[in-house]
Structure 1
Amino acid sequence: MADSLIRALVAVGAPAMAGTDTPPLGFALHRELEELVTAGLSPYEALQSATVNPARFLARGEGAGMVAEGSPADLVLLEGSPLEAIGNTRRIVGVVRRGEWLDRAALDAMLEEAADG
C-alpha cells in the first residue's frame, strides 16, 4: 500500500522527502533511500528526496542541497554511483563537511570514538 502511494504521489509531482530519526542517526537514511527505490522511485528521485527537496522545503536558498559552483552544500564522495545502485550510498570514501575533508580513516576514527563514548 505505502509503495503504491509513494509512486502515485511522485507521479503527480509531489516532492518526496527522506528523513528519519531512527537510531543510529544517519545510518537509517541509507535503508530509507533503498526503500524509496523499492517503492518505485528512481535512484535519482530517491537522492533528490534527501538533498534538493528538503533544502527547497526549508527555504535554504538557491543551490542548497546541490553540488554546484558557489553552492553551500557539504558532500559525500562515494566509491560507486548511487544512480546505478542506490546501495552505493553506503560505500563512503570521504566527506566534505563545512569545507573540511574527512577521509575514510577520519570517519572510522569518529565512529570508533562515538561507540566508546
Structure 2
Amino acid sequence: FAGFSLHDELALFVKAGLTPMEALQTATRNPAEFLGIFNSLGTIEKGKIADMILLDANPLEDINNTRQINAVMLDGKLLTKKELQKLLADVEDAVNKN
C-alpha cells in the first residue's frame, strides 16, 4: 500500500548513516522548515497542527519500530489498531475487485 514506503525510506536513511532521530526529522521537521511552515507544522508543540502515531516500540532504539503502529490521531480522531487494520483490509478488497 502507498504510505508504507515511508518506513523503508526511514530505514534507508539510518542505513546511510543518519541517527534514527535525524531520519525521523527528514519526515517531519525538515520538510516543514524547507517549506516555510515550521511555525504551524513539523513538531508537536502547543499551537501547531499535528497528526500523530502511537507506536508499540521506540523508533529511536530501532527505526523499524515505526512499523509497529498502535493507533493514529488524524484530524483530532483516534484510529485504533483494529480500525486501521479494517481500513487496510477494505482498501485491499477494493483493489482486488478492480
SS of 2:72's equivalent in the other structure is strand
- Find the counterpart in structure 2 of residue 53 from structure 1: 30
Gaps of 5+ in 2: none
Deviation at 1:61, TM superposition (A): 3.7
SS of 1:62's equivalent in the other structure is coil
Deviation at 1:60, TM superposition (A): 2.1
Deviation at 1:63, TM superposition (A): 4.2
1:69 corresponds to 2:43:
no
Counterparts of residues 1-117 of structure 1 (less than 5 Å): 24-117=1-94
Q: Deviations over 1:60-91 (max 9, x none)?
A: 24141111222101101001111111010000
SS of 2:71's equivalent in the other structure is strand
| TM-score, with structure 1 as normaliser | 0.76
Q: Deviations over 1:40-67 (max 9, x none)?
A: 0000000000001111222224141111
Gaps of 5+ in 1: 1-23
May I ask how many residue pairs the two structures share in their alignment? 94
| TM-score, with structure 2 as normaliser | 0.90
Q: What is the RMSD computed on CA atoms of the aligned residues?
A: 1.0
State the percentage of identical aligned residues: 45
- Partner amino acid, structure 2, of 1:98: D
